[in-house]
Structure 1
Amino acid sequence: MPWAVRQEEIIVSAIRGFRPPERGEGKKDRIPRTTEPRRRERRMFMPVYDANLLAHEKLFDIAVFCAQSALKAPQITGKVELKMQILTGEDLNPVLEALTVLGRIDMFNFLSFATWQSAAAQGRMPVLLLIGADVRQSDLNYNCGACGFPTCAAFNQYSRSVKPPPYIMVKGPVCIWRLIDYAGACDWACAAAWQYNITNRIEIATGWAAREVGYLDECDVVHGLPLGPCTDLHWYSRDAVTAMMEYDIWLGRMHQNYPTLFGTFPGEGRPDLKIRPDWWTQPAEVEIKQIPLEQFEATYASVESDLKAIRERVKGLAAGQGKPGSGKGEKVL
């Protein structure tokens, strides 16, 4: 018998064999009707959450996940101990103020501050995860020479004999292998944030500023990982920087920072710079100018004075609770 015919007979037989239930049959298995309105009433009073606000509030949880990921990161040496802290809300104010001060030394601190400020102005202040480590001493005995010294012992001896200059991003010299492991941990923290689709960018700027005002100040290197705001590419598009600077000022900074990108053929010995639309009508060239030592020293003196004042305020806020971040998971400021 063809399969299609057999299938039709089965369906017809099933239909003929169907018997509707008798009155009252199966009532004991039914949910009483009196409970239905009550169930609907309870659903009416379920809370409704502001998802945008809740998404921002949960950034702290993402920071914890990122810290866990950094601790999980594989290491070559297996000897780099990470030190981490999480800053939120008003605790970030001293760090942002320090960014404006350090901007007098390195301009990128201003750019970072502007990006933070734009998020704060919108009521979407990011959460900051600080990741630090000690990298100025080597206990590896690799004697690889990557640091420039023939042995780890020679490197350690030199490192102990010199004091890092003040207000420097990384306190060198550093063991290359320990620094690689530290950088890998920072990468893993960033990857964890991206797994949760959270905008982030690892920054030396905020890490440097935080260390200068007392957070993880015992570490040789500190990076900051801002998490949020919950929008796309906030730390890479940097719309706030575009709004802050006029085009001519921004272009002038590019000419100063990257003159080779605007140069003509260097084989001429004195290449012109294309700094005007009709650059060929008025040639321009690069000039090396010595910064007066007095101006240089005055800048660093003002930076030192202002950072010291901020640091003292942070200590005052943390009075009675030890150093910033000395607690076991609790808020310290």
Structure 2
Amino acid sequence: MLDCSVELLINSAITAPKAGGKDDVIVVNLTDNEKIKLILDAMVKISERTNFSFYKRDSITCQNIKQIIFVGAKDYYHNYNCGFCGFETCDLCKKNGAFCALTITDCGIALGSLVKLASILGIDNRIMLSLGKAAIETGVIKGAVAVYGVPLYVSSKSIFFDRKY
């Protein structure tokens, strides 16, 4: 039911405007039930480890999800020395283990493009950092420093509406 729409969503994220036109964002469509379960189980463990209940809440909410699109920021520096990251130069940003603010912003623009189109197409969704963190920790998503997951769901009632902590 979602196949055609998902292609449009992925295209929207991939073609979203990016600083300098650089390919600094990854987009991954995940439909593998075993990998989704691995991520959801990891979210419960992260919740227990950190005492942040939203990880467990999001895991419970996503139990029936069959499709997640991940959008992440690559470990990429634009080398504009703009200072938006809080450091005077890109070299200082890298040296201090920080990430390029332009790349992180590009990730956000790609996410916004994706979820706006999903909304237009009538696909329930949420941007979840919890899915992204668990996807990185489990190794399901590689090649990104920050990742967000966008679970997709179509039914008569949004599963994302009545979430509780």
Unaligned runs of at least 5 residues, structure 2: none
Q: 2:156 aligns with which of 231, 235, 239?
A: 231
Equivalent residue pairs, number: 162
Task: Name the structure 2 match of 1:144.
Answer: 82
Alpha-carbon deviation of 1:155?
A: 1.7
**Over residues 217-273 of structure 1, what are the superposed CA-to-partner deviations in whole Å (9 max), with x where a residue is unaligned?**
3310111111104234321322xx3xxxxxxxx7xxxxxxxxxxxxxxxxxxxxxxx
1:246-325 alignment to 2 at 5 Å? none
Q: Does 1:98 align with 2:42?
A: yes
Tell me, in whole angstroms, the C-alpha distance in 2 between the residues paired with 1:100 and 1:156. 32
1:133 aligns with 2:73: yes
Paired amino acid for 1:139: H
Amino acid corresponding to residue 59 of structure 2 in structure 1:
F
Query: What TM-score comes out, normalization by structure 1 length?
Result: 0.45
Is residue 211 from structure 1 mapped to residue 150 from structure 2 by the alignment? no
Q: Distance in 2 between matches of 1:231 and 1:130?
A: 24
Map 1:180-191 → 2, pairs under 5 A: 180-191=105-116
Structure 1 residue 60, shift from structure 2 partner: 3.4
Residues 1:158 and 2:96 are matched in the alignment? yes
Contact 1:73–1:188 (CA<8 Å) still a contact in 2?
A: yes
**Quick one: which of 41, 47, 59 aligns to 1:113?**
59
Shift of 1:139: 2.8
Following superposition, the deviation at residue 89 of structure 1 comes to 5.3
Cα drift, residue 211 of structure 1: 1.6
- Alignment check: 8 A CA contact 2:25 2:106 kept: no
TM-score (norm 2): 0.87
Q: 1:81 to 1:231 in 2, by over 3 A?
A: farther
Q: Which one of the candidate residues 69, 94, 102 is aligned to 2:12?
A: 69
Q: What is the percentage of aligned positions where both structures have the same residue?
A: 26
Give the distance between the partners of 1:205 and 1:231, measured in 2 at CA: 25
The answer to whether the Cα contact below 8 Å between 1:98 and 1:213 also exists between their aligned partners in 2 is yes
- Partners in 1 of 2:43 and 2:5 — Cα distance? 24
Q: Which residue of 1 aligns with 2:30?
A: 87
Greater fraction helix: 1
| Cα separation, 2, equivalents of 1:129 and 1:188 | 13
> Secondary structure in 2 aligned to 1:236?
coil
CA contact (8 A) 2:47 2:56 kept: yes
SS in 1 for 2:117: helix
Report the Cα offset of residue 144 of structure 1.
2.4
